[in-house]
Chain A
Amino acid sequence: MILGDPIIFGGSGGPSASDAILTVTVPTGSTVTMTKGGVSVTPTMWVQAADNTLDCALFVISPSLFDSQNAWTVTATNGISSASATVTISTNNAYDMELQLWAGEIYMHGEQYQQQTGGFEVVRVMANTAPIAQASYGTTPNGVISLSVSGTNANGAVSTVNPIDLSRFSTMTVKLQSNSFGNNRLYIMANSTKSGIILDGQNNNCDFYYKPAGYQTGDLTLDVSAANGSFYLLVGGFSSDPTYVCKISEWYLS
């Protein structure tokens, strides 16, 4: 069923004319809930939007739940990040909203989404020992980038294919979730070139970098206020155990 097809009301089962309908548009693969005062409601049904990267969650709200005083909180999540909005449902109208999760591209915080050019690629940086390690990354429909670095003493990073002009910005923020065990290490970086970067678990040879300690979940920030020009932006990992995985759910400049 595609949004735009008629929804039949009346009869046994399904919504009635006295019900309100809330349509929440979210990236494909997200989960959506609406909550108010300890009450949590899941979608009545899902339909696919005309844009096949989006889905629509339909909530049927009966008159007994109408409330002109207290708003519902609607939350969408892709398992790592979430977005919320509120809506007051007081009558049997049709309500709609769109919740955006990360589009999978670096954006300029506080402004409308601006697309970087060329996307991302894997940069297999120097390995501590031969053979050169394997690194790969993938994107999901809801924008999460997953970087995997495999092999003992292995290094790998996901990088922008093209450099980005950082002159207007002072901070790079990456929201991610990583596993960490043994001597694994994680880096967020900005570099004037894509070559010559060394991640050997002991130090780093990169123009701007932040190396947090241990397992990470949340926002990582890098000061780029002295970056007057274009730089490649990277998230990389050093693995001393079989596989190191990092999931990036948001990446922006401000």
Chain B
Amino acid sequence: MKIYLDSEYRCHLSDDGTMREVETDAFDGKGSVYIEGYRYVPSGETWIRSDGVAFKGLMVTPAKDFNSLATAQTQHEHDEAQRWGSLGIPQEQGFTATRRYPIGSFLSIYGEIYEVISIILTGGQIIPWSNVKKSTVEEYINKKAED
């Protein structure tokens, strides 16, 4: 996804004309409040904190109180799950499948949508990354419309 960095490496989802664009997957599955509460120092760059301590990139850390960002992210995932649930996308709470997923089906893990592209998963199996590819709600909707 594209994010925009200000002069203090704080993340933004839109450019106010003074920021620079960065492409990253560090915030996949994260909501806007979470993303815009973070600082992203790209690899090869250095951020100098106000007390003079230097931090090299790639560093990804909260710029605002983490607890508030975590609360906002939990609400975001709940809202997304409600949306996915209403769309029929099953959620897994971790990396172990609780059911069988045929090829071409969709599932969500930790706030991200995945399409099953390889062997059929069975309940109790750890989900190998090579069996799924990242997807989006929009792709899921489009695929359902094609079926």
Please report A residues at the B interface, Cβ cutoff 8 Å: 126, 128-130, 132, 170-171, 192, 195-196, 200, 202-205, 207-213, 221-229
Considering the complex, which residues of chain B in the window 79-135 have a beta carbon less than 8 Å from any beta carbon of chain A? 94-95, 110, 126, 128-130
Does A204 lie within 8 Å of B26, measured CB to CB?
Answer: yes
Neighbour of A222 across the interface among B43, B59, B94, CB < 8 A: B59
Q: Chain B contact residues: over half helix, strand or loop, or mixed?
A: loop
Neighbour of A212 across the interface among B49, B56, B60, CB < 8 A: B56
Count of chain B residues with a beta carbon within 8 Å of a chain A beta carbon: 33
Does B56 lie within 8 Å of A222, measured CB to CB?
Answer: no
Tell me the bound Cα distance from A213 to B43 in angstroms: 7
Given contacts A196-B94, A204-B26, contact A223 B39 (CB under 8 A): yes
Does A208 lie within 8 Å of B61, measured CB to CB?
Answer: yes
Does A222 lie within 8 Å of B55, measured CB to CB?
Answer: yes
Q: What are some 16 contacts across the A-B interface (CB < 8 A)?
A: A128-B128, A130-B128, A200-B129, A203-B25, A207-B66, A208-B62, A209-B61, A210-B57, A211-B43, A221-B53, A222-B59, A223-B39, A223-B59, A226-B63, A226-B66, A227-B62
Shortest CB distance B125–A (Å): 9
Query: For residue A227, which residues in chain B have a CB less than 8 angstroms away from its CB?
Result: 62, 66
Tell me the bound Cα distance from A213 to B47 in angstroms: 16
Given contacts A129-B128, A171-B53, A221-B54, contact A228 B65 (CB under 8 A): yes
Please report B residues at the A interface, Cβ cutoff 8 Å: 24-26, 28, 39, 43-44, 47, 49, 51, 53-67, 70, 94-95, 110, 126, 128-130
Neighbour of A226 across the interface among B47, B59, B65, CB < 8 A: B65
Shortest CB distance A122–B (Å): 18
Does B44 lie within 8 Å of A229, measured CB to CB?
Answer: no
Does A228 lie within 8 Å of B66, measured CB to CB?
Answer: yes
Minimum-distance CB pairs A-B, first 6? A226-B62, A210-B59, A208-B61, A211-B58, A203-B25, A223-B61
Query: For residue B26, which residues in chain A have a CB less than 8 angstroms away from its CB?
Result: 203-204
Which residue of the partner chain B has the closest CB to A200? B129
Tell me the bound Cα distance from A210 to B60 in angstroms: 6
Which residue of the partner chain B has the closest CB to A195? B94
Tell me the bound Cα distance from A50 to B39 in angstroms: 50
Query: For residue B57, which residues in chain A have a CB less than 8 angstroms away from its CB?
Result: 210
Shortest CB distance A46–B (Å): 39
Shortest CB distance B8–A (Å): 11
Which residue of the partner chain A has the closest CB to B64? A226
Query: For residue B129, which residues in chain A have a CB less than 8 angstroms away from its CB?
Result: 126, 128-129, 200
Query: For residue B70, which residues in chain A have a CB less than 8 angstroms away from its CB?
Result: 192, 207
Does A210 lie within 8 Å of B55, measured CB to CB?
Answer: yes
Does A126 lie within 8 Å of B62, measured CB to CB?
Answer: no
Does A192 lie within 8 Å of B66, measured CB to CB?
Answer: yes
Does A210 lie within 8 Å of B58, measured CB to CB?
Answer: yes
Given contacts A126-B95, A196-B94, A226-B66, contact A209 B60 (CB under 8 A): yes
Which residue of the partner chain A has the closest CB to B49? A223
Neighbour of A229 across the interface among B53, B67, B110, CB < 8 A: B67
Neighbour of B59 across the interface among A130, A205, A209, CB < 8 A: A209
Shortest CB distance A131–B (Å): 10
Shortest CB distance A154–B (Å): 13
